[in-house]
Every structure is written in C-alpha cells, then in structure tokens.
Amino acid sequence: MKKAASHIDYNNAVISIRDLEKSFGDYHVLRGIDLDIFQGENLVVLGRSGTGKSVLIKLISGLLRPDKGSISVLGNDVLALSDKQLQELRIRIGFSFQNSALYDSMTVRKNLEFPLVRNRKGIGRAEINKSVETVLDAVGLSQTINQMPSELSGGQRKRIGIARTLILNPEIMMYDEPTAGLDPITCIEINELINEVQERYRTSSIIITHDLTCAKSTGDRIAMLLDGQFQRVGTFDEVFDTDDERVKPFFDYNFIQ
C-alpha cells in the first residue's frame, strides 16, 4: 500500500468536474462524471477498455468538448477558454503518454531541451543546461545525457519521457498506462518514480492504468469508471471491498485469488 503523501490539500481541487457527459453517436460514453483531484494528490483512474478514460483526459485538456457539464482546471473554466488560453493551460500540464515517444535522432540532452526551447522563448544556455541536469537527476539517469534513445532500455526511455515532461515544471501530471509493457522490476521503479515526482515537484496527478500494483502503490485515491460514471471512489481497499461483479474481476485477474 502507498505511503501517505505528505502534502495533499483536500481543501483545494486543482481539477473539478461536474455532471460531465459525452456521447459519440449513439454511444453515451460518459454519463454524468463528478470528480475532484486535489492539490498534491495522485488519483488513479481505472476502467475497462473503451469506458472513456482517454476521452476524459481529452475533455480535461480541452481537446474535446463535452455535451454537458463543467470542467475547471487550475482555476480555469476549460469550456470558456480561447485556443491560445488552452495552449497556455496545457503547458502547465505534463502528459506522459505511451505514444509520447522520444526523438530517435536526438541525444537524451537534445530530447530534454526540445520542450524548453519551444516553450520558453529567450531562455539562456546556462538555464537550459541546469534544467536538463536537474530533471535527469530527478529520474536517476544523469549518466545517459549523451546517449541516443536506441541505447536505452524501455524503462529508461520511459523515465526520460517523464523527465522531458518535468522540465516545464508542470503543476498537473497525466500518466497514461505508465507501466504498460514493462517487466515487473521496472514497473516497481516507475511506480516509485511517480511517487518521487509527486513529492519533489508537488504535482497533482491522474494515473490511468490497468495494473493494480501500480494503482495500489501510486494512488492516494482510486476512481473506477463503471457504466459511464465514477461509481467507486476511495482508497484502494475501499474500492475493492465489494462483491460487485463489475469490480471483482479486476482484482482477481491482477492478484490471482
């Protein structure tokens, strides 16, 4: 079970969602979502494939518009923002997605510099170097600075991807299946890194995963999408202390009861 994070502020929601609905044609994916993510909290989102987890992330980041409901992110009404304001808001959010691959033709250093140079116009060389060294240290890979992505293991590439996100000092982190495709030891390392990032960068995070070990070791709370709503929200034990046949298979499959 996760060690309690030291600095969660349950009076301050960084993301607040109310009565959110989204359909595609006849398919009513999200059917009245209510959710708060609190300052400094790691919130794990669970749900079967196709239940709308990615759609939820796209709604939060303004890439999709809901049919109904409200979304507040870092004090901004997402539905009222202009495209430029949305872009500014997205810079405050770090996306660690499976498809956010590194540039194969660039060294680790150049990969890490890329978001800085693009988003912080006029930044000086000394500050770039310091930022690169700081995030590499944060993910424990200082020695890889001059290596090419092809020379790194899958777990190392994942860590560098997270470092590339951290370099812009995000206030919110979104992790999409952070342990998918990794061996168990590397999964444990990535889970630890997610918790280290939470402590060191004071981020609030949404972690989408099917890996219940990841959920248990990183989540301060778990929210489970069932039939288009977060019907079970709480600690890991609270969410899984049920005979609900929609919930039990998740647990049984992961922990072989």
Q: How many residues bind ligand ATP (CB under 6 A)?
A: 11
- Return the range that interacts with ligand ATP (CB under 6 A); candidates 50-58, 106-114, 166-174, 178-186: 50-58
Closest CB to ligand ATP among residues 52, 155: 52
- Relative orientation angle of helices 154-166 and 125-138, to the nearest 10 degrees: 130
The mark string for 7-36 relative to ligand ATP (x by CB under 6 A, - otherwise) is -----------------x--x-x-------
Q: How many angstroms separate the CA atoms of 68 and 18, rounded?
A: 9
Q: Judged by CB under 6 A, does residue 52 bind ligand ATP?
A: yes
- Return the range that interacts with ligand ATP (CB under 6 A); candidates 43-51, 90-98, 159-167, 179-187: 43-51
Phi and psi at 241, nearest 5°, equal -85, 75
Q: Judged by CB under 6 A, does residue 103 bind ligand ATP?
A: no
Q: How many angstroms separate the CA atoms of 25 and 31, rounded?
A: 14
CB of 55 to ligand ATP, least distance (A): 4
Tell me the three state secondary structure of residue 104. coil
Q: Judged by CB under 6 A, does residue 49 bind ligand ATP?
A: yes
Nearest Cα neighbor of 214 from 252, 175, 242 is: 175
3-state helix, strand, coil in the chain (%, to 5): 40, 25, 35
User: Under the rule (CB under 6 A), what is the footprint of ligand ATP?
Assistant: 24, 27, 29, 47, 49-55
